[in-house]
Amino acid sequence: MSSIKELISQMTLEEKAGLCSGLDFWHTKPVERLGVRSVMVSDGPHGLRKQDDKADHLGINESIKAVCMPAACATAASFDRELIGSMGEAIGRSCQHEEVSVVLGPAVNIKRSPLCGRNFEYLSEDPYLAGEMAAALINGIQSQNVGTSIKHFAANSQEHRRMSSSSNVDERTLREIYLPAFETAVKKAQPWTVMCSYNRINGVYASENPWLLTDVLRGEWGFQGYVMSDWGAVSDRVAGLAAGLDLEMPASGGINDRKIVEAVRAGELDEAVVDRAVERILTVSEKYLANARPETEWDLEADHLLAARIAQDCMVLLKNEGVLPLNREDDIAFIGEFAAKPRFQGGGSSHINCFKTTSALEAAQEQGLSVTYAQGYSVAQDSASDEMIAEAAAAASSARVAVVFAGLPDSYESEGYDRTHLDLPASQNAVIEAVAAANPNTVVVLHNGSPVTMPWLDRVSAVLEAYLGGQAVGLAAVRVLYGDVNPSGHLAETFPRKLEDNPSYLFYGGEADEADYREGVFVGYRYYDRKDMDVLFPFGHGLSYTTFACSDLRMSASEITDQDQLTVTVTVTNTGSRAGRAVIQLYVGDKESTVRRPLRELKGFEKPELQPGESTDVTFVLDSRAFAYWNRDLHDWHVETGEFTVEIGQSSRAIELCGTVTVKSTVKLKKHYTKDSIFMDIMEDPDAAKVIQPLLNEMGKMFGPGEDASDAASEAISAEMGMAMMRYMPLRGVVSFAGGAADADMLDHLLEALNSL
Ligand code: BGC
């Protein structure tokens, strides 16, 4: 490190300012006279999108041939840290081979609404799941000595007006919902870089937000790497640099570099801030360069098979009335253009130039399966002619089982804009209806990056959610459909019955540049569960060709403090007749709390593999954070003393076991009382209650039993009413209502006594 400092000491101010922005679209700048080399960064995140010099960042120009792994919408559904880690290792190897120092990902923004155009790139509506999966991917990639850039930091949950919109989010919601995925990834995986988002947060651009980029990211979480801007996210470069934005991407044509130099010369910016940014950037680049291994082999075919293995463990069996798995001997009809040309990735900066793809039709034919094909609908025309529908129905009626491959066309969801509805193309819905009418054994396979409505759900026998499963999705789908692989994906998001049910529905997108996150912490299942609302498929849902049961919930203690850990163990048994993997989820809920909290929140998950009849114990360790909420007075996490539920289930709506633990807080919340504090709040603290009790007794007389309280019972009721009426009275009320027993001086003394407790 000292050599980097030494190098920096030899640089001119112009050279240093220059290093704070890119050379072009994808490279950092060199300083040749000092031997500082330029390094490359590339998208990401589910494969390598390395572009040549004629680069653009929207995926218009071709990039090198690479392997498209399943997108984040799919990988999150695997609930499998190891699997996503192995995907990271493969991506890391491809970067080593291609001399890329940093992959631009993972993208971990919370799926606030199913409308966000980029949801296919994001992991979940749940911050715990998103954080765990992001950390696993980062650790996998960085194990190959290639950096990552976790993005888009932060609160970037819409594409609409993405470069100017302000995400107006209260402190608690930011801390509980929109920041934790970043926090977990930083703490567990220390990404080499962080990419700040385009949007503003409560009015301040993420790219020039010192609270976000420095206080929270570095001060609280201990981030060590450098922060880069999203492409073109810089508004005021000098303010950004001071706030902690180290590298501006892409190149700014020298304009912003000059502004940095001028600001230093004018005494408006400390040169040490420039040195700091350069040191951070060079430290990361050096880490890569010191162990660069361009000789690393990149076996595209092997990665294609890995992509299939990952995709098959991500698919979510949403519904199955027994028609799946298919028999290899049966005549099956594959219907829908996506059977021959699957949609397996989304549009925009993550778009990968695949070296090959495998469709379900090809995979089935290669395996000699008896499959007929009807196109059903045209993706390009967004239509299905009467002939196509008739042909689909005919193919369906002459097969034992009809499998319709449906989903969203590219134009329906992409980076750069949001969706306006949740529906599949009408043409595809019409084909599904016609096929279901022709054959009761109809299966729907879905290729989409975000929830869709399913008006035909009651009329089909099975639904397999394949998401955007990467270039080998067809092979994976055939393996799952025919039972070579037992499906084990579970939803990382809720599928609502209709768009209007979504908690952000009334506010999503915002008005002009103000996007108010008014639903607060009630995002996804946190809302649906609190409202006890019917959903199409709940968070965490996923079926298997076998069944699992959870039993024997054990907890290491029935009472702990907020300093302790709680170990939770359950036995999981495969109660069916096939080997398979269960996704066991642990949710925590505060039974009674002074703040409004979700009914349950995911705090642990494990994915054991079990043979038929086999049992295993699964263990979770919960620390105080699992019970905490963000307290806006403390500006910190806080656990309220009381009882918490610990629930174990196979979805947020399939809870099988429930235990209770009492957690005792060791933190006394210090309240500041004023003359406007109301009696009810003061009485809540037993020490404060003692101070005001004498006064209360006096006042109780005023509001106490009236003259007509003739017997003991009505006297008691009347006393109770008196107290009830006084609950909301501010302390200053004593001057008017204590019947001369209190004056302004006394009030001051009282407040002094209360505030010195
Ligand atoms: C996207 C980023 C991406 C960058 C570089 C931006 O438009 O928001 O996710 O990494 O371009 O392509």
> How many angstroms is it from 716 CA to the middle of ligand 1?
68
Distance of CA 154 to the CA centre of its chain: 11
State mean pLDDT over 440-465.
98
The reply to whether ligand 1 has any atom less than 6 angstroms from the CB of 153 is: no
* Residue nearest atom 5 of ligand 1, based on CA coordinates: 57
The atom number, within ligand 1, closest to the CA of 43 reads 10
- Name the CATH code of domain 305-519 (choices 3.40.47.10, 3.40.50.11810, 3.40.640.10, 3.40.50.1700): 3.40.50.1700
Distance set, CA 717 to CA 442, 680, 708, 720 (Å) = 66, 19, 12, 5
Pocket probe mutation, ligand 1, options 118, 159, 198, 230, max atoms within 8 Å of Cβ: 230
Residues 6 or more apart from 490 whose CB is under 8 A from it? Answer: 77, 79, 316, 540, 541, 542, 583, 585, 650, 651
Pocket probe mutation, ligand 1, options 104, 118, 194, 234, max atoms within 8 Å of Cβ: 104
Residue corresponding to tokens 């162990």: 291
Residue 706 pLDDT > 70, yes or no?
Answer: no
pLDDT value, residue 699: 74
pTM, to two decimals: 0.96
pLDDT digits (tens, 9 = 90+) for 198-210: 999 999 999 999 9
> How many angstroms is it from 416 CA to the middle of ligand 1?
10
pLDDT digits (tens, 9 = 90+) for 643-663: 999 999 999 999 999 999 999
Point out which residues pair with 402 in neighbouring strands. Answer: 333, 442
pLDDT digits (tens, 9 = 90+) for 724-750: 778 888 998 888 777 677 788 888 999
The reply to whether ligand 1 has any atom less than 6 angstroms from the CB of 57 is: yes
Instruction: Identify which has the larger pLDDT, 1 or 150.
Output: 150
Give the residue from 385, 368, 367, 369 showing the smallest Cα distance to 377.
385
The atom number, within ligand 1, closest to the CA of 44 reads 10
The reply to whether ligand 1 has any atom less than 6 angstroms from the CB of 231 is: yes
pLDDT digits (tens, 9 = 90+) for 28-79: 999 999 999 999 999 989 999 998 756 566 656 679 999 999 999 999 999 9
* Residue nearest atom 7 of ligand 1, based on CA coordinates: 231
* Residue nearest atom 9 of ligand 1, based on CA coordinates: 349
Query: Worst-scoring range by mean pLDDT, 229-233, 619-623, 718-722?
Result: 718-722
Hey, what are 498's tokens?
């209709």
Rounded mean pLDDT of the chain?
95
- Rounded-to-5 percentages of helix, strand, coil across the chain: 35, 20, 45
Hey, what are 263's tokens?
């600001």
> How many angstroms is it from 359 CA to the middle of ligand 1?
28
Bridge-based pairing state of the strands 584-590 and 642-651: antiparallel
pLDDT digits (tens, 9 = 90+) for 318-339: 999 999 999 999 999 999 999 9
| CATH code reported for the domain at 548-664 | 2.60.40.10
State mean pLDDT over 233-239.
98
The atom number, within ligand 1, closest to the CA of 105 reads 10
> How many angstroms is it from 233 CA to the middle of ligand 1?
10
Residue 398 pLDDT > 90, yes or no?
Answer: yes
DSSP secondary structure, 20-46, as one string = TBBSSSSBBPPBGGGTBPP-BEEB-SS
State mean pLDDT over 712-721.
73
Q: Do domains 305-519 and 548-664 have the same CATH topology?
A: no
Residues 6 or more apart from 116 whose CB is under 8 A from it? Answer: 109, 122, 157, 158, 159, 418, 419, 450
> How many angstroms is it from 314 CA to the middle of ligand 1?
25
* Residue nearest atom 4 of ligand 1, based on CA coordinates: 231
> How many angstroms is it from 195 CA to the middle of ligand 1?
9
Pocket probe mutation, ligand 1, options 25, 40, 43, max atoms within 8 Å of Cβ: 43
* Strand positions, DSSP E, 339-400: 353-354, 371-374
Pocket probe mutation, ligand 1, options 57, 122, 247, 248, max atoms within 8 Å of Cβ: 57
Residue 616 pLDDT > 80, yes or no?
Answer: yes
The reply to whether ligand 1 has any atom less than 6 angstroms from the CB of 349 is: yes
The structural domains of the chain, with segments of one domain joined by +, span: 1-35+251-291, 305-519, 548-664, 679-755
pLDDT value, residue 723: 73
Return phi, psi of residue 253, to 5°: 65, 25
> How many angstroms is it from 494 CA to the middle of ligand 1?
26
CA distance 625 to 49: 37
Judged by DSSP in three states, 225 sits in coil
pLDDT value, residue 1: 44
State mean pLDDT over 480-488.
98
The reply to whether ligand 1 has any atom less than 6 angstroms from the CB of 230 is: yes
pLDDT digits (tens, 9 = 90+) for 85-143: 999 999 999 999 999 999 999 999 999 999 999 999 999 999 999 999 999 999 999 99
Catalytically active residues are: 230
> How many angstroms is it from 119 CA to the middle of ligand 1?
14
State mean pLDDT over 677-684.
91
Residue 704 pLDDT > 90, yes or no?
Answer: no
